């Protein structure tokens, strides 16, 4: 074999430099990814550190809706359903005063349970219209949610006897006292 060729074959310096370069690049990439994921670039940017937080506020929101949909002893409707039945369709923005009383009571609970903890929320009511297509209206609106917002929902069945105030929500069962189902969507995010 030609001595020069043999030397080249035995010389693994190039391979070593390549591996060093690759290792360095990988380390730099991992470092950047780790830094980016480990801490949010802005308070409203989704990041790995938010996953547990999102999980927590999702659980809180879900629990809150379940508790609000509980019918107390001696009552006909839950606080959530009372508010939905009395609500006329008005969108309440920010921290404006809400009405009637049942909606005010509901808002107070949300504010105490969520805002005090630094969690913003929107409450949107989705329903099916006369054409059996989905429509939705915001009941409580606190702004555009961030990237790391979570959504929890609760389904509330409305009956004819409830005499719902929001006349734009139609009776989808004229032959029975079943009226419609409202999908109450609560969007939550960290401020």
* Strand-pair partners of 119: 190
* Strand-pair partners of 138: 124
Looking at residues 88 to 127 of the shown chain, list those that interact with other proteins (rule: CB under 8 A): 126
The total of other beta-carbon atoms located within 10 Å of residue 72's CB is 9
Looking at residues 31 to 50 of the shown chain, list those that interact with other proteins (rule: CB under 8 A): none
Q: Can residue 150 be called a binding residue for other proteins (CB under 8 A)?
A: yes
Residue count at the site for other proteins (CB under 8 A)?
45
Angle between helix 101-113 and helix 79-86 axes, rounded to 10 deg: 130
* Location of structure tokens 């938010």: 50
User: Which has the closest alpha carbon to 154: 178, 112, 126?
Assistant: 126
Q: Which is nearer to other proteins, 4 or 94 (CB)?
A: 4
Across the beta sheet with 119-128, the strand order is: 92-93, 134-141, 119-128, 178-190, 150-159
Q: Which is nearer to other proteins, 42 or 52 (CB)?
A: 52
Q: Which stretch binds other proteins (CB under 8 A): 90-98, 100-108, 116-124, 157-165?
A: 157-165
Q: Which stretch binds other proteins (CB under 8 A): 22-30, 89-97, 103-111, 139-147?
A: 22-30
What lies within 8 Å, CB to CB, of 25 at 6+ separation is none
Q: Can residue 30 be called a binding residue for other proteins (CB under 8 A)?
A: yes
Which positions touch other proteins (CB under 8 A)? Answer: 10-13, 15-16, 19-20, 22-23, 26-27, 30, 51, 54-55, 58-59, 62, 126, 128, 132, 134, 150, 154-155, 157, 159-163, 165, 167, 171-178, 180-181, 183
């Amino acid at each position: 074999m030609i001595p020069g060729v043999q030397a080249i074959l035995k010389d693994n310096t190039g391979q070593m430099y390549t591996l060093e370069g690759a290792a360095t690049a990988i380390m730099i990439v991992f470092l950047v990814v780790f830094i980016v994921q480990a801490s949010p670039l802005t308070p409203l940017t989704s990041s790995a550190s938010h996953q547990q937080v999102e999980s927590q506020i999702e659980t809180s929101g879900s629990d809150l809706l379940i508790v609000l949909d509980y019918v107390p002893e001696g009552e006909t409707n839950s606080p959530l359903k009372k508010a939905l039945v009395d609500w006329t369709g008005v969108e309440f923005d920010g921290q404006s005063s809400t009405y009637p009383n049942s909606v005010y009571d509901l808002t107070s609970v949300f504010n105490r349970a969520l805002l005090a903890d630094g969690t913003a929320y929107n409450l949107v009511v989705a329903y099916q219209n006369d054409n059996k297509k989905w429509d939705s209206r915001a009941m409580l609106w606190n702004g555009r949610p961030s990237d790391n917002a979570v959504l929890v929902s609760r389904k509330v069945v409305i009956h004819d006897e409830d005499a719902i105030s929001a006349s734009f929500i139609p009776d989808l069962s004229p032959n029975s006292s079943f009226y419609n189902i409202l999908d109450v969507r609560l969007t939550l995010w960290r401020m």
